[in-house]
Amino acid sequence: MSELVATADKRRREDVCTVRVIEYVLDDPGRPGAQDTTCQLVTTLLDPTAAPAGELAALYAQRWEIESIFDELKTHQRGPRVFLRSRTPAGVYQEAWGYLCVHYALRALIHAAADHHDLDPDRISFTTALHAARRSVRTGLTGTVNLSVALRRAISELLHGLLPVRRLRANARVVRRKMSTYSVKRDAHRTWPTPTVATGSAVRILGPP
């Protein structure tokens, strides 16, 4: 356990944030960049029973999934060359929240389908879920019975054409031009080794649970 204190609050300590520090390494010969590297994860999830250290470390490796979310929102859900129509700040906020709520509903549909059949949600296509939802809306939904029928049809459609299991990938921490502390990208980095096990299986916790 540790604490985070804002710079302006060093002396008064009126707004101290209690955090949990997890230390771990990745045991995988297919990740040469992780060899002899100790990772430290700081989280406000303090209960090790509700949020085990191994699960948090594995989830942290998926933080770049947010880039896929941006692509879903801006490219697939919104569509090409589609802009917000509102001309007032309040209207823009309303439209933005509308996009986010629809995306949340689509992701909830994907989660329900995956959870019901014990699948990784990554196996279900977002565009398939989007098209299935659009068809349901266009045909018209009235009453809980029609909604439940549409939900079953959508889930059946989502499970019909599953995506292949994602292959394990890793990239060297290098940059094209020397503008940071990372090494410069070389020809050897183009054939970077492939991980041999999933991140969750490679995590070895060093610190407290």
pLDDT at 83 over 70: yes
How confident is the model at residue 145, as a pLDDT?
58
Is the backbone of residue 137 left (phi > 0), alpha (psi -120 to 50) or beta?
alpha
Q: How confident is the model at residue 30 (pLDDT cuts 50, 70, 90)?
A: confident
Q: How confident is the model at residue 199 (pLDDT cuts 50, 70, 90)?
A: confident
Name every residue whose Cβ is closer than 8 Å to that of residue 129 and which is 6 or more positions away in sequence. Answer: 106, 109, 110, 154, 158
pLDDT at 107 over 90: yes
Instruction: Give the number of other CB atoms < 10 A from CB of residue 202.
Output: 22
Q: pTM score, two decimals?
A: 0.67
What are the residues facing 22 on neighbouring strands?
41
Exposure string (b/e) for 140-177, b if CB count within 10 Å is 16 or more?
eeeeeeeeeebbeebbebbbeebeeeeeeebebebeee
Q: How confident is the model at residue 45 (pLDDT cuts 50, 70, 90)?
A: very high
DSSP state letter for 114:
H
How confident is the model at residue 34, as a pLDDT?
75
How confident is the model at residue 56, as a pLDDT?
93
Instruction: Kindly report, residue by residue over 87-101, the tens digit of the pLDDT.
Output: 899 999 999 899 899
- Asked if residue 110 is part of any domain, the answer here is yes
How confident is the model at residue 179, as a pLDDT?
62
How confident is the model at residue 198, as a pLDDT?
85
Instruction: Kindly report, residue by residue over 67-76, the tens digit of the pLDDT.
Output: 889 999 888 8
**Which of the given ranges, 14-18, 135-139, 146-150, 192-196, has the highest pLDDT on average?**
14-18
Which structural domain range is residue 155 located in? Answer: 2-167
- Asked if residue 61 is part of any domain, the answer here is yes
- Asked if residue 193 is part of any domain, the answer here is no
Find the mean pLDDT for residues 63-82: 84
- Asked if residue 203 is part of any domain, the answer here is no
- Asked if residue 68 is part of any domain, the answer here is yes
Find the mean pLDDT for residues 164-192: 75
Domains identified in the chain, total number? 1
- Asked if residue 63 is part of any domain, the answer here is yes
- Asked if residue 201 is part of any domain, the answer here is no
Which of residues 194 and 121 earns the better pLDDT score?
Answer: 121
Q: How confident is the model at residue 141 (pLDDT cuts 50, 70, 90)?
A: low
Query: Which residue type, as a one-letter code, is found at position 48?
Result: P
- Asked if residue 192 is part of any domain, the answer here is no
Instruction: Kindly report, residue by residue over 144-177, the tens digit of the pLDDT.
Output: 657 778 888 888 888 888 999 888 877 777 766 6
Q: Which helix (H) or strand (E) holds 119?
A: none
